[in-house]
Amino acid sequence: MQSAMWLSSTASTTHCPWPRSILDSSADNPNRYNAASNCLEMLHSSDYRIHSTTEALPRGRIKDAHSLIKMTSNALSMITSYDIFGNETGSWRQPMTERAGFWESGSEGSDGLSYKGGLPSGLTADVTVCKGEEKKCDHKTVQEAVDAAPDNLIADKRFVIRIQEGVYEETVRPVKECRPRRRHRRSWPLREGVLGDGFIASDLTIQNTAGPNAHQAVAFRSDSDLSIIVNCEFLSNQDTLYAHGLRQFYKSCRIEGNVDFIFGILLHSSKIALFWFVPANSNQKRVRTMLSQHTKASGSQKFSGETWKEYSRTVFIQCTLEAIIKPLGWLPWRGEFALKTLFYGEFDNSGPGANLSGRVPWSNQILAEHVYMYSVQNFIQGDEWIPTS
């Protein structure tokens, strides 16, 4: 496993000069500059995750290593097999999915499929932001408050920004290139989102106002592991919420859009989230989703999800599905692409859109004996890091 991770880390380091050279020569080309910047950010993030994984494995934190990993399929396969079979290396194999009949074990827990976690208590603001000259605060823009964050924080210390009521029309960006440092936790906005672990947000509306002609218009992107988002609203037309990966917990949130408005590679529990599907343009008909528990879907008629990638997984558990959901339920991306490897499942949903009789043949009904695989405790190890509330 260490050799596979070393190989991934070496590849990441080897490829860094290429996007850097593109970045340095693209000052007059914003699209090319942004693409090169994104590439560098992901390479830096992957390198950091590899280092975090190498620290987690010797301490027996197998679930952490599995969640943090962004590397070769060999390393992922070995960590998955070690999690399941331990030292019995003769039983190690390529990862299997529910589609192939493999189900991870999951305990019911004291709350069953429910989870009463939320924000940590006792948070106090380090800086405040407000609108209007008559109000007293530390900063007048969110960007100024982000800029005030220290470069390093002691372990488990958060930098808390309190934003007073108001409309802040700005795009929050980092002042300088930075990335997480081991044993320290810091989060910061990065273009449309957040990079860094332990990010927390509550009581915010985050909106991209670009409109349908702009096509992709991400309101919020998150690469933050162990992230908690409570009572927030995300608004855009397309690609509203980009949950790019790792363990993220959304509770009492509202996500609105026309097309592809929840998407990404994600280990995600959406808890008591409200998905409002608003009318789409005639050529925009797709909704990509992921694990959703106790949600409500309403609006104009749509599909629950789309076969965007091989081995993709989308699950609706104990959700209210209104007439918005078409009887077929799920939409293929292109012919038979990904249908043999994906898993799109439903369990114990209610409402007129929950009728399974007309579903596509490649969708699945989750059996009760397997559903706890998707509990917050098992899926994102939420009982270890989400405060009880």
Residue 106 lies in a domain: no
Residue 148 lies in a domain: no
Bridge partners for 259 per DSSP: 238
C-beta neighbour count of 222 within 10 angstroms:
28
Residue 131 lies in a domain: no
Predicted pLDDT of residue 79:
73
Catalytic residue among 156, 225, 239, 348: 239
Q: How many CA atoms lie within 13 A of 101 on its CB side?
A: 0
Same-domain pairing of 253 and 365: yes
Strands 330-331 and 305-306: parallel
Does 197 participate in catalysis according to the annotation?
Answer: no
Structural domain total, the chain: 2
Predicted pLDDT of residue 363:
92
Predicted pLDDT of residue 186:
34
Residue 15 lies in a domain: yes
Same-domain pairing of 335 and 227: yes
Same-domain pairing of 234 and 363: yes
Predicted pLDDT of residue 195:
75
Predicted pLDDT of residue 160:
93
Same-domain pairing of 201 and 82: no
Boundary-marking domain end, from 95, 121, 142: 95
Predicted pLDDT of residue 282:
37
Tell me 139's DSSP state: B
Residue 101 lies in a domain: no
Same-domain pairing of 185 and 89: no
Which CATH number is 305's domain given?
Answer: 2.160.20.10
Radius of gyration from C-alpha coordinates of the chain: 21
Catalytic residue among 24, 197, 260, 383: 260
Boundary-marking domain end, from 79, 95, 111: 95
Residue 142 lies in a domain: no
Same-domain pairing of 330 and 209: yes
Taking alpha carbons only, the member of 281, 363, 368 closest to residue 321 is 363
pTM for this model (two decimals) = 0.78
Predicted pLDDT of residue 27:
84
Residue 62 lies in a domain: yes
Rounded to 5°, angle at Cα 134 from 132 and 137: 75
Does 239 participate in catalysis according to the annotation?
Answer: yes
Same-domain pairing of 89 and 188: no
d(CA 374, CA 106) in angstroms, rounded, equals 7
Same-domain pairing of 188 and 87: no
Residue 143 lies in a domain: no
pLDDT tens track, the chain, 389 positions: 777 677 777 776 777 787 888 888 888 888 888 778 877 777 777 777 777 777 777 777 777 766 656 545 566 677 777 777 888 888 887 767 788 888 877 766 666 677 778 889 889 999 999 988 778 899 999 999 988 988 776 667 889 999 999 999 988 865 444 343 333 333 333 344 687 788 899 999 999 988 888 878 888 988 888 889 988 988 888 888 888 778 888 888 888 887 777 875 443 334 323 344 444 443 443 334 456 666 666 555 666 677 677 778 888 888 888 888 889 999 888 888 888 888 899 999 999 999 999 999 999 999 999 998 888 888 888 888 999 86
Tell me 326's DSSP state: -
Boundary-marking domain end, from 77, 95, 113: 95
Same-domain pairing of 88 and 192: no
Please classify residue 232 by burial: count the beta carbons closer than 10 Å to its beta carbon, then call 0-12 exposed, 13-18 middle and 19+ buried. Answer: buried
Q: What tokens does 378 get? A: 């098992």
Same-domain pairing of 199 and 335: yes
Range of the domain at 338: 179-384
